[in-house]
Structure 1
Amino acid sequence: MTYMIHGATGAQGAPVVAALAAARKPVTALTRNAGTVVEGARVLAVDYSSTADLTAAYRGAEGVFVHLPVAPEEDRLAYARNTVAAIREARPARVLFSTSGGIVSADGDSNPDDSAESAVSVLAAGLADSGVSYAVIEPRFYLENLLLPHVIAGVREEGVLRYPLPGRFRASWASHLDIADAAIALFERTDVTGVVSVGQYPAISGEDLAEAFSVRLGRTVSYEATDPDVFFAPLVPVLGKQATAATANMYRALGTQPDRSITAERSAQKRLGVTPRTASQWLAGIDL
């Protein structure tokens, strides 16, 4: 029996593969390209658009780690439904779903961020109703976003950390490494089900992040809120116009909220005893 990891060569999946391989667990990297080489894992080409492919991959699996790719929401909805159908048919021993920033209700059946049905809510609700052992990993923002070329360039060259969130806006930031830590714990802790929020608690602001950069670099770094459309424009070649616009709109809406903090009750700190890295701890491992 093996662990099936989606996006195994990407930012979220790769740390999970590495952690499982380090623990000497059998790992299968699920990718779109069969020719990909993933250290510590065998590779299986699987397409989210094929329920049959997903079912074959999941059958007999010890664990499955799922997160939806960045794509138009129509495609993501199809992927979510295909994934749920495959899980119901294949019935792997354990399934973990990272929402990649989406928020679900305590019982996993809806996404309060959306007024309409979303891919995140469909997948979370499908897992809750599948009868398969599952948990939803619910982060907020990824610290790795601060390493985007146009972000880190401002830090290095101007001493300014720019991000599309208002000043003093508090959020529970987490590293992809924190997601991997939670995933490894949740694969073992099958008694923990439902939603586990991953991120810093108490939440921190952009100014706090800038201060962490200041300490790491030994010089002053200030925080500057930037317009979401301006911030995400350089990512159009990577994400596409539709996904980029949707992401910018999401950030604009988030900026009108009081904060983006996890709650103590649903935190990995309380539910798993796993504490995420502080911004300073994360930066200590980054080559700036």
Structure 2
Amino acid sequence: MRTLTRDEWEPRARAHEQRVDALVAPHLARREAEQKHPVHDFLFTYYSHKPSQLRRWHPGYGVRLLDAPEHEELPAYRDGAVSPELLESRRPLLVALRRLLAATASRPATLGCFGLHEWAMVHGQEQDQIRHPWPLRLGGAGTDAVVESHRITCSHFDAFRFFTSSARPLNTLSPASGDRADFEQPGCLHAGMDLYKHAFRLSPLVPSELVVDCFELAWEIRVMDMRAAPYDLTGVVMDHTGEAWSPIPIETPDGKRHYAEAQRRFAERGAPLRARVLAECDRLLDAQTPAGSGCVRDSGVTTSR
């Protein structure tokens, strides 16, 4: 157990809060004004981590904070540190998550999907049937033609499950909720975005700085995902820099090259984050392994001899 005085931990907490405030302020302002954003709201609606939870700083398991009444009042804490009981309750999650992350990291990045998962989610539907109230850039017939003329290789179950019934048979893979570790690969944009989900599900056992690092990557990937989607979002302001919407036409050779190159860069950026989350899983599993239990990790899974 490492101990931090208030003079040591408070600057980290304040820096974290300021970093998060800059990221979430536009969303909170829109929420107050009852305005929706077709791109950025996803990170606060699809994912269950609230802005207030993202803003709350935690040092991670194994650190005791002195003079920290703000933390002591939290149910996860006892005597200034995250409790062993919470760690024990997260053991099934840690084992499953470690298996998924290790399996994903063991595979090469596949860069040939071109974001067609978003197109397959609207295949064969009329405008009033699609999941989002945004016009299709190529219209219904044009969008369907793109889907039907490409080889679809979506490996991510949480994208595949939203395919329309007519598009499902067109996918060369059949990922399911129970076999994610058999399909996940590091080139998948959604696997990169989900690093944020994996990190915040481990909070407060992991340092909050790791959670925000994953959030920032997910933010940029979400923009890329929607730029390559079939929707016409012309004029939508993408981020705080004021960069305007510009689609990535993945139905063209230039668009495919653009998408694959961006996908490669995101895979490279996601690799060290995945390694950090995986290392936290190892650290936490080791921390709660009773001495002499003979527990070992094998092929991404913690088992007992």
TM-score band (shorter)?
A: under 0.3
**What is the TM-score normalised by the length of structure 1?**
0.26
Query: What TM-score comes out, normalization by structure 2 length?
Result: 0.25
Structure number with higher relative contact order (C-alpha < 8 Å, ≥ 6 residues apart): 2
Higher helix share: 2
| Bigger radius of gyration among the two | 2
